Structure 1
Amino acid sequence: MSTLAMQGAGFRPVRPLNRLFLDLFGAEKLFAATALVLMLMIPPTLLAMAFDGRTLLGENLWIKPLKFEISLTLYFLTLAFFARWLPEGMTETRWYRLFAGGVVLSTGLEMLWIGAAATQGIQSHFNTTSPLMAALYPMMGALATYLTSSSLIYGLAIRRAGGLALEPAFRFSLIWGLILTFALTVPVAGGMAVAFPGHAVGAGDLRVPHFLATHAMHFLPVAGYAAGRLLPAGMALPAVRFFTLGFVLFVAYSFAEAAMGFGFLGLIF
């Protein structure tokens, strides 16, 4: 279908994916700027690691801030990139600007909490050793849930945005990758915080399902894009649906496996 025909049918023209990377910051400037700030925090954190040799639970104190800076940089860059497929004008609405501002504020408070804990040489997560930390931990959990909900909002909004000239396989993977980032991360993180205070259960490590869940927004769209390029048109969408189901089951399996105290893939090998 030609571009003019798509416009006549109600489609919004979308540039080929391989060109969109040249304009990464154009669709959602607030999230792109947040990613840039987080990225600029990485070098000072690396310097802190180099000059501050203190450790906690066998790791340098600055490992956790570094992990969050890298992870959240990738998260906000991804949202800024995917924002181009939101309903037209959505990012300029009042409710969206308030919501996005709250997400950025939540991120700032999370990083302040994690950095302050590193400075003091104490755990930021799973720390109830003082009344202050016991009160802060659930509050930070609520902020993290709010932060993660932006992927859910994006997934639902893109689902409602009809007329996108996207291949069906990629559109499906994009929508469900965003939705499942929230839908899988919240129960996994909740299990780590409540049922298993901490990430280690014997030889099991609950960080594995947590990593998989939070990166559904990357794994699924990559699979959808690859399927649309490598498989016949009639096979791409069913293949992505099957991959999505398998991904959800794999996250559930890795969580159950870790909760039972087995190392990753320990129930298989």
Structure 2
Amino acid sequence: MTTSVAEKTAATPVSAPRRMHRPLLAMTAVMAALAAFSLCAMAFDDRMLLHESVWLKPLKFAVAFVLYAFTLAWLLSFPHRGQRLTWWMGTIFAITGVLDIGFIVVQAARGTFSHFNTETDAFNVIGQQVFMTGVPGLFLANLVIAVTLSWQKVTDRPLTRAIHAGLGIAVAGMAVAYAMGFSGAQQTTDAYGHPVELAAGHTFEAGQPPVRDGVGGMPITHWSTTGGDLRIAHFLGLHGIQILIVAALLLPRLARRVPWLRAEAVRADLIRVFALTYAGLFGVIAWQAFRGQALIHPDAATLTGFGAVAAVPVLGTALVYALRGRSTATVLAAPVSAAAPRPGSVSPISR
């Protein structure tokens, strides 16, 4: 008895289309607009804070949140348990993020600092309270999402492993930012030359006097070249998830040319190796900053740490190939059994 194409189509279950998290998408759009505005403002506004444009900080935060908010919106679209909880956490993340970045933008327009600012005017006092409340909100919302998804298979194994590891590293990257509050107070001036005391900064130094922000900065990022700058580890932690997801998406394409990568278990193990490598890099750079050492001036201990991290992907990949990849490649390379029907032939049973 034959079945028509229409009947087959009707009998095939159609999965519901995935819907990305709308508040996070709205946040992504707002941050993209802010990034464009900040770039334009930098071209016409020559005011400076710590030797950088007053609009550089809004630009960097906007770009960072475009990447992270869109990533969260995408991964929350996968079916998973606790979707109501993660939807609300994503919404809290979006609202809190917009409020916090809004304060950064207003302070930039005022020509003064958003972070660690101890000025006693009413606007700054109220703004700092709102700002300092929002930062834990971002962290906790992301933590709840990470914990909720950490035990679930969201999609295929390699991509699920990338999401789990990336969220965990992002939580660590956010946690590192709290340590900046212990870097020590510093005296500086706002964009108009008025004295401002900052309760803390981004840089650490093992000795005294402490390294000040804005002294010896790298091009574009303005990360410190004279002391340990925690912003580097913070940046790596937040954006590890995008790098791991891209790696998980590229591996199937690479598998078309490398046969031993075609098994899902092999690719999942390689993502684990990559995640361990990235986490190790994050850890070494954070450790380097806490010791008051600039990224571009590593000592012997730091170089040893980097060397150990570099060995992880080499040894890990070799181990994955030895345990899983070799057998996969052997199976794929094995000749077709003589008993098996030739392609295009019809078996007696099907006649």
TM-score normalised according to structure 1 size: 0.77
Given that 1:205 and 1:263 are in contact with CA atoms closer than 8 Å, whether structure 2 keeps it comes out as yes
Given that 2:174 and 2:238 are in contact with CA atoms closer than 8 Å, whether structure 1 keeps it comes out as no
Give how far 1:44 is off: 2.5
In 2, Cα distance between equivalents of 1:56 and 1:141: 21
Equivalent pairs counted in the alignment come to 246
Q: 1:50 to 1:130 in 2, by over 3 A?
A: same
- Listed as ranges, the matches of 1:103-122 within 5 Å are 103-122=93-112
Q: Which residue of 2 aligns with 1:187?
A: 175
Q: 1:119 to 1:102 in 2, by over 3 A?
A: same
Given that 1:174 and 1:224 are in contact with CA atoms closer than 8 Å, whether structure 2 keeps it comes out as no
Give how far 1:72 is off: 1.0
In 2, Cα distance between equivalents of 1:214 and 1:245: 15
Q: Which residue of 2 aligns with 1:64?
A: 57
Q: Deviations over 1:60-101 (max 9, x none)?
A: 1011111111111111111111122142782xx4x5554444
Q: What is the SS of the residue equivalent to 2:77?
A: helix
Q: Which residue of 2 aligns with 1:49?
A: 42
Q: 1:227 to 1:96 in 2, by over 3 A?
A: closer
Aligned amino acid, residue 158 of structure 2: A
Aligned amino acid, residue 177 of structure 2: A
Is 1:79 aligned to residue 106 of structure 2?
A: no
Given that 2:228 and 2:288 are in contact with CA atoms closer than 8 Å, whether structure 1 keeps it comes out as yes
Highest relative contact order (Cα 8 Å, sep 6+), 1 or 2?
A: 1
In 2, Cα distance between equivalents of 1:187 and 1:88: 26
Identify the structure with the greater helix proportion: 1
Q: Which residue of 2 aligns with 1:152?
A: 143
Q: Which runs of 5+ in 1 are unaligned?
A: 16-22
Q: Which residue of 1 aligns with 2:266?
A: 235
Cα RMSD, aligned residues only: 3.2
Identify which range, 239-248 or 70-79, moves more after superposition.
Answer: 239-248
Q: 1:248 to 1:232 in 2, by over 3 A?
A: same
Q: Deviations over 1:42-70 (max 9, x none)?
A: 33222222221110100010111111111
Q: What is the SS of the residue equivalent to 2:117?
A: coil
In 1, Cα distance between equivalents of 2:87 and 2:162: 26
In 1, Cα distance between equivalents of 2:68 and 2:250: 21
In 2, Cα distance between equivalents of 1:109 and 1:228: 39
Q: Which runs of 5+ in 2 are unaligned?
A: 1-7, 185-199, 205-225, 255-260, 307-351
